[in-house]
Each structure stands twice: as structure tokens, then as C-alpha cells.
Amino acid sequence: MSHPDRTIIALEESHFGLDGGAMFGIIPRPLWAKTNPPDEANRIQMSARCLLIIDPDRVTLIDTGMGVGFSDKEREIYNIRNQDAGLRAALSQHSLRPEDVDEVILTHLHFDHAGGLRTPADDGTLRPTFPNARHWVQRENWSWAHSPSARDAGSYRKGDFDLFDAADAPPLNLIDGIAELFDGVEVLPVHGHTFGMQVVKIEAAGQTYAFVADLIPTASHLRDPYVMGYDLQPLKTVEEKREILYHARRDDWILIFEHDPTTAMARIDVDGRGRVIPVPVETLSHT
Ligand SMILES: [Zn+2]
């Protein structure tokens, strides 16, 4: 099915910075600094990018960005910017409000993906940002997020997702493995970055897209050893990345990078030396 009436749009929720060494694992700084120049604190620029899928009868959002729940100290450490605007402003550019979102697919519950699930109300309390949406996450990631290891506990903040404990919470659907959530929107679990993350594969207007989340966070992470230091099972990431890139090249998928500061979408090619390279797709919005 080609889904001729489906539009997909990349939304920039915010920008922040993470340590370049942590983002590129074992890769020496002189190599990654060429494509991702660090600032004086060794941070590289990161985008918190979400994906909007607009169907005639349904509005779907993939991931929710950083949100607003950060202390001044955290804002300083992570160089968090553009927070005043956030998702509400990004949605309004497309004549949508958070209340219009029907489905929220969470790739995983790390704070830079799930932080936008809550928004301060007028009285200062934090309320669900998408009160009318069904929310989707892999059951395995939901479980892990509630009892992560000491090593990755800092990436999961229970306050981001305990809204689902409330009696009047919007619905949460836990997914077990590969699933087609609705026509032409499929989730593919991967486990190298964290347990039960999911890549989202979308068919729109005859083109296949893959929102690859933290499996390939930026266009600079395509090659095998370019694996984040954060990953719990780095060899698994290498395997899972190879598989996605194989399909992307063979079947002409467009990959959508959640954290690349400049390249939102790219096709995949191989250069004269046999190395995987991105071929950026210029526009952010596809009909
Ligand atoms: Zn993550």
C-alpha cells in the first residue's frame, strides 16, 4: 500500500549538547570532530527531533523530545536551548495542537525522547501533553525503565512517565515485539542501545521511511564502529545497524535521524572505498 494521502514532517522540539566522546564511543576525537565540531566543554550539537505523521483520519507523533523538566544546572550541563517553543509551537506551525494528536509512539523512555510527555498546566502542575492520544512503547523497555542498571539509571527519569499511573491518564499500550500498529506504521524492536527500543518504519506516498532513534542517532553514526558509549550492548548495535542499513540501501528507504543537528533525513549509499555514506534528503516535509 502506498498511502498517497499520508504526510510526514520532521519537528524540531529543541537543541542540546552531549559529550562528543560519549556520543562516539571508541572513535578518536580528531575523527569525529571533523563532522561534529565540539564546543569548549567538548559537547557536540544535538537536535531533539520528533516525527509527525498526518493521515486524513489520524495524527501520529513519534517521540516527544526533552520537555521542560530540567533544573538550571541540567540546562547548563546539557546546553538545552529553544525550550520555550517546544512541541506546541512546532505543532502550531502545522495548524495542530497537542490535543489533536491521536497516537504517540515512544521509541524508548530515555529523557530526551519521553521528556515531552508532560507539560506544566496554568496552576504549575505537570499534566499529560497529549491527553487524547493512545501511547505506545515496547513492554520490555517499559519494564527496564522502571528498574534500569546503575550504569544507565541517569537516562531514565520516572517523573517523565509516571503520569500513566494516574487514574485519568491517557491510554498506554505495551507492545510485545514486532508489530504493525496501524496500516503502514510498523515497529521493529532493537536491543543494543537499551532493552526494547523500537525503530519505526513508515510507508508514505510510495516511499519507505525508518525513524531510527538511537540506533543511528546522527548521519555521522552510520559506520560499524561509530557506536555511542551509552549503549548497553554495543556489539548488538553493530549487528542491528548493519541489518537496517542493508534494507535501507537495497530497498531505497529514507532514514530519519532523531539527533543530527543538520541532516534530518538521508538515503544510504556506499563510497568508492566501500564505506556507508548518507545522501541527505533536503526537505523536512514529505507528502
Ligand atoms: Zn536513548
Mean pLDDT of the residues in the chain: 94
Ligand 1 centre and the CA of 108: distance in Å? 7
Q: Return the pLDDT at 124.
A: 82
Q: Which residues surround ligand 1, an ion (CB under 5 A)?
A: 110, 214
Distance CA 186, CA 105 (A): 10
Q: Could you tell me the distance, in angstroms and rounded to a whole number, from the CA of residue 215 to the centre of ligand 1?
A: 8
Distance (Å) from CA 272 to ligand 1 centroid: 32
Cα of 231 vs centre of ligand 1, distance in Å, is 8
> 68 falls in which pLDDT band (50, 70, 90)?
confident
Q: Is the dihedral of CA 242, 244, 248, 251 positive or negative?
A: positive
Q: How far is the CA of 111 from the centre of ligand 1 (A)?
A: 8
How many A from CA of 123 to the centre of ligand 1? Answer: 31
CATH superfamily of the domain spanning 7-286: Ribonuclease Z/Hydroxyacylglutathione hydrolase-like (3.60.15.10)
Question: Ligand 1 centre and the CA of 65: distance in Å?
Answer: 11
Task: Please determine, for residue 27, whether its predicted confidence score (pLDDT) is greater than 80.
Answer: yes
Residue that wins the pLDDT comparison between 135 and 82: 135
The residues spanned by each domain of the chain are 7-286
Torsion over CA of 169, 109, 247 and 45, rounded to 10 degrees? 120
115 Cα–ligand 1 center, Å: 12
Q: Is the dihedral of CA 253, 110, 232, 173 positive or negative?
A: negative
Spell out the residues 6+ positions from residue 276 whose beta carbon is closer than 8 angstroms to its own. 222, 223, 245, 249, 268, 269, 270
Q: With 80 as the cut, is the pLDDT of residue 158 above it?
A: yes
Phi and psi angles of residue 72, each rounded to the nearest 5 degrees, phi first? -60, -35
Task: Report d(CA 145, CA 148) in Å as an integer.
Answer: 5
Judge whether residue 286 has pLDDT over 90: no
* Mean pLDDT in residue range 86-101: 94
d(CA 207, CA 143): 34
Count of alpha carbons within 13 angstroms of residue 283, beta-carbon side:
6
CB atoms within 10 A of CB 126: 17
The mean pLDDT of 251-264, rounded to a whole number, is 97
Asked whether the predicted pLDDT for residue 120 surpasses 90, the reply is no
Does residue 274 contact residue 263 with C-beta atoms inside 8 Å?
no
Question: What percent of the chain shows pLDDT beyond 90?
Answer: 89
What is the CA(194)–ligand 1 centre distance, in A? 7
Residue 265 — very low, low, confident or very high, per pLDDT cuts 50/70/90? very high
Provide the pLDDT confidence category of residue 83 given band limits of 50, 70 and 90.
Answer: low
110 CA to middle of ligand 1, Å?
5
CA diameter of the chain: 59
Distance between Cα 181 and ligand 1 center (Å): 22
Ligand 1 center to 152 CA (angstroms): 10
Least confident of 67-71, 103-107, 134-138, 160-164: 67-71
So what's the pLDDT on residue 3? 85
Q: Which of 192, 245, 200, 208 is nearest to 223 (CA)?
A: 245
